[in-house]
Amino acid sequence: MGLFQGNVLIASGDTVIWQHSYGKADHATNRMLNDQSVFELASVSKQFTAMGIVLLKEQGKLKYEDSLRHFFPELPYSNISIRQMLQHTSGLPDYMDLVMEHTPSGSIATNKELIALLALHQPPVLFVPGAKWEYSNTGYALLASITEKVSGKKFQDFLHENIFMPLNMTHTEIYRRRYEKREIPNYAFGYMEPAPGKWLLPDSIPETIAMVVKLDGIVGDGTVNSTTGDLLKWSRAMDQNLLVSETIKREILTSGEDNQHIKHGYGFGWMLRRMEPAGRVA
């Protein structure tokens, strides 16, 4: 009892069959969760980053085989394509330790600082691009920066204008609580439970405060915030091909493969699995 805190929504097609909220959105004020509570989506954000890239490709503004250095020639990483970044086969080094080590205490890094650190320190690739699959937050942060460079818009504005607004996802946005110094309505704080029944924000825990502050300005690999209702709209938009055609959707939801043609079960921002008896799920 009391272990789960969050929102649950079950739907069949467009019809909500059941939904319920469990626990608190803010333990400091005892504010409870409700069906409009806005949650940080963490890596589920990658679905939206990937869709942004897909839309730019469909607009003829980039190609999946374009190289990373085509957009950021100051980076030392050759022969890495947008497709490899989308599918986590780029071999790019992880940015988190780099930011933690080389930014001042109390500072908040952005994608611009991240790119400058990669260019300056040039950590080597983890493997030859395309040689294998390895989850990469760096790749998705760089995809967000490519989106900005190609579209001429801030990443959050591009997603708002091309995904959230067309789908009427009115409670979905890029939100960086520490970086932006603003509040959004119905925000559900993300807590840690260092001891049973003791809920603390990572900002107040010595082991995690530096990380959650320093990394809060980086977009692309996370920072989309949404509600269960808006995520139902997103799911239905994918089902009904509201943003892209059936052919393009199949490409998004098709597993990529490494240089040895071994499929790795990841599309463009989506993990792809089979779960019987349901069959394939994304």
Tokens of 119: 């260019």
Could you confirm whether 226 is annotated as catalytic?
no
Alpha carbons 201 and 119: distance in angstroms, whole number: 33
CA proximity to 221, closest of 5, 47, 27: 47
Q: Which of 12, 21, 37, 43 is catalytic?
A: 43
Angle, CA 144 vertex, CA 141 and CA 145 arms, to 5°? 90
117 with 99: CB under 8 angstroms? Answer: yes
CB-count burial class (<10 Å; 0-12, 13-18, 19+) for 274: exposed
Q: Which residues are catalytic?
A: 43
